[in-house]
Structure 1
Amino acid sequence: MTSGGIEPRTERLRRARHLRAYLVQVPYLLVLLAGLVAAVLVLFDRWRRGAFVFGSALLLASLLRALIPTSRAGLLQVRGRFFDVVATAAVGATILWLATSIDPLGTD
């Protein structure tokens, strides 16, 4: 045993668990970052591009939720896998359709 009372192997396992707890959130952080980019675009009066990026972020979330195991889905997991994938894909596709189909009225 070490002077701290914790064996080195136990300490390594504890650090690995902490690291995994952060790494499992990386897909969610990617989607969150895309949402932030969309918000900045809307803030700078680029609402169509912002809506397009936001819809794409939701489709990315849907794809990641479909491909990543539930044990590693992190905050992308809200309900069951099927519901999460269908709901985010439907909303993302709707936003993309709206962003591309509405007349820009002189804006971008």
Structure 2
Amino acid sequence: MAGIRTRLPVYAPVMLVMLIAAAGMVRVLTQHWREGAVLLGGALLVAGLLRILLPVDRVGLLAIRSRPVDVLCYAAFGVVMTALAVTITRGSFDFG
């Protein structure tokens, strides 16, 4: 596993998270806001998982504070966003 970590570019973890978040934004912008919100929450959960698994020199821009604080923030926001997207069932964002 050490060989994988040394070959992993520093920007790869944040790019993975950004790709998931971009897919979520595309879903939101195409009027599928629940699916998009779940993808955005999933991006945060993936960021937290990567922050746990990768060493400090390979995590790149996902490292903002200490590891426990980063993981707690990513996981909490990811779970809250996903839970809200799944549990909101009434109404829509149709203003017309």
Give the TM-score of the pair, scaled to structure 2. Answer: 0.85
Equivalent residue number for residue 54 of structure 1 = 40
Equivalent residue number for residue 86 of structure 1 = 72
Identity %: 43
**Alignment RMSD, CA only?**
1.7
Structure 2 residue runs of 5 or longer lacking an equivalent are: 1-6
Equivalent residue number for residue 63 of structure 1 = 49
Q: How many Å apart are 1:76 and its aligned residue?
A: 0.6
**Large movers: runs of 4+ above 2 Å:** 104-107
- Out of 45, 49, 62, the residue aligned to residue 76 of structure 1 is 62
Contact kept, 8 Å, 1:48 with 1:104, in 2: the verdict is: no
SS at match of 1:73: helix
Amino acid at match of 2:35: R
Contact kept, 8 Å, 1:59 with 1:89, in 2: the verdict is: yes
Give the greater-gyration-radius structure (CA). Answer: 1
| Partner Cα distance (1:29, 1:104) in 2 | 34
